[in-house]
């Protein structure tokens, strides 16, 4: 019998949630997605030292302030990892806009343009890239502009129906609802465990998926941030699922039968939701403690790891200057 991973691939596009090139080579996903935390882990691995060395060498020739140089090198390094990943997957690579721009629409648009231009300079067209943006109101508005320009976006750190509705209204290419982090919040606040079928993160994604299909929304639903294979199996049939290497390996080793849970044709009874404006969006987020807390926590976490990555780069820049 085919492994559960192979069965999953027959009904869902499997995406690797990693910046580890070796893992992607072994697991052969269609797409891959990264974030500052994953890039930081990859940058600390000796196997990718040559990418850091190239980016530092490039940055030393650009001029400008030390802080600006380090930020520019970090941007280049993200695209360098992404460029390597495009050689390994046939589909899309997600590259994230800096977390500290999450509440600045115009700066997010400008950063996305710079990322796309860097890929273009390496011979990689925009149809291979997704610009990854936090699902704040400002981020969603930036994505709306970018989508109209033909730049596809992945709206991440999505925890609520309000965020999903706003993303659908904006015509974004893809959303990444965070299953495991929703579960984490409920486990902590309710003090109990959940089976996959009653998992609040699974239920959230199922509701968003059903709403999109019922309304004819073309935005791709890509479940993310999984804590177990049980959560993944409970969303089998979702448009896409982005999965960490350890869980991909566990699915690959499991020879059991995988039942399809989601289907684009099975949404007749799903309650539909209308459009949402800024006032309604902000009120809905205010009323959803989980979504508000996890969105803020996620942005802070990515910003912290981006800061660590920049610190790592700054040390390399200093070391290179002293060696010269």
Residues catalogued as catalytic: 132
What does 17-52 look like in DSSP terms, one character per residue? Answer: E---HHHHHHH--SEEE--HHHHHHHHTSGGGHHHH
CA 82 – CA 129 distance, rounded (Å): 9
Give all strands (DSSP E) within the chain, no chain letters: 13-17, 31-33, 93-96, 129-134, 153-158, 174-177, 220-223, 240-243
CA 153 – CA 168 distance, rounded (Å): 12
192, 193, 194, 200: CA torsion to nearest 10: 60
From residue 301, alpha-carbon distances to 149, 232, 290 in Å are 30, 24, 16
From residue 159, alpha-carbon distances to 34, 77, 79, 182 in Å are 18, 29, 27, 7
Helices first, then strands: H and E counts in the chain: 14, 8
């Amino acid at each position: 019998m085919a492994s559960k991973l192979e069965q999953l691939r027959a009904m869902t596009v499997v995406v690797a949630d990693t910046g580890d090139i070796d893992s992607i080579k072994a697991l052969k996903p269609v797409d891959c997605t990264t974030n500052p935390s994953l890039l930081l882990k990859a940058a600390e691995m000796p196997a990718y030292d040559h990418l850091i060395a190239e980016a530092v060498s490039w940055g030393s020739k650009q001029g400008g302030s030390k802080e600006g140089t380090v930020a520019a090198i970090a941007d280049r390094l993200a695209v360098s990892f992404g460029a390597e990943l495009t050689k390994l997957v046939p589909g899309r690579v997600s590259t994230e806009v800096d977390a500290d721009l999450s509440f600045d629409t115009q700066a997010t648009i400008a950063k996305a343009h710079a990322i796309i231009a860097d890929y273009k300079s390496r011979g990689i067209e925009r149809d291979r890239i997704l610009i990854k943006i936090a699902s704040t109101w400002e981020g969603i508005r930036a994505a709306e502009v970018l989508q109209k320009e033909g730049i596809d976006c992945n709206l991440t750190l999505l925890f609520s129906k309000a965020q999903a509705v706003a993303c659908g209204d904006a015509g974004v290419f893809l959303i990444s609802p965070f299953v495991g982090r929703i579960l984490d919040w409920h486990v902590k606040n309710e003090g109990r465990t959940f089976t996959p079928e009653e998992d609040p993160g699974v239920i959230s994604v199922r509701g968003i998926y059903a709403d999109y299909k019922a309304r004819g929304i073309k935005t791709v639903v890509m479940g993310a941030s999984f804590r177990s294979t049980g959560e993944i199996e409970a969303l089998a049939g979702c448009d896409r699922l982005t999965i960490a290497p350890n869980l991909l390996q566990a699915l690959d080793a499991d020879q059991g039968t995988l039942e399809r849970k989601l289907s684009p044709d099975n949404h007749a009874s799903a309650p539909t939701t209308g459009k949402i404006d800024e006032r309604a969006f902000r009120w809905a987020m205010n009323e959803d403690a989980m979504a508000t807390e996890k969105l803020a926590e996620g942005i802070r976490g990515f910003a912290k790891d981006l800061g660590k990555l920049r610190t790592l780069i700054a040390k390399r820049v200093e070391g290179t200057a002293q060696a010269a």
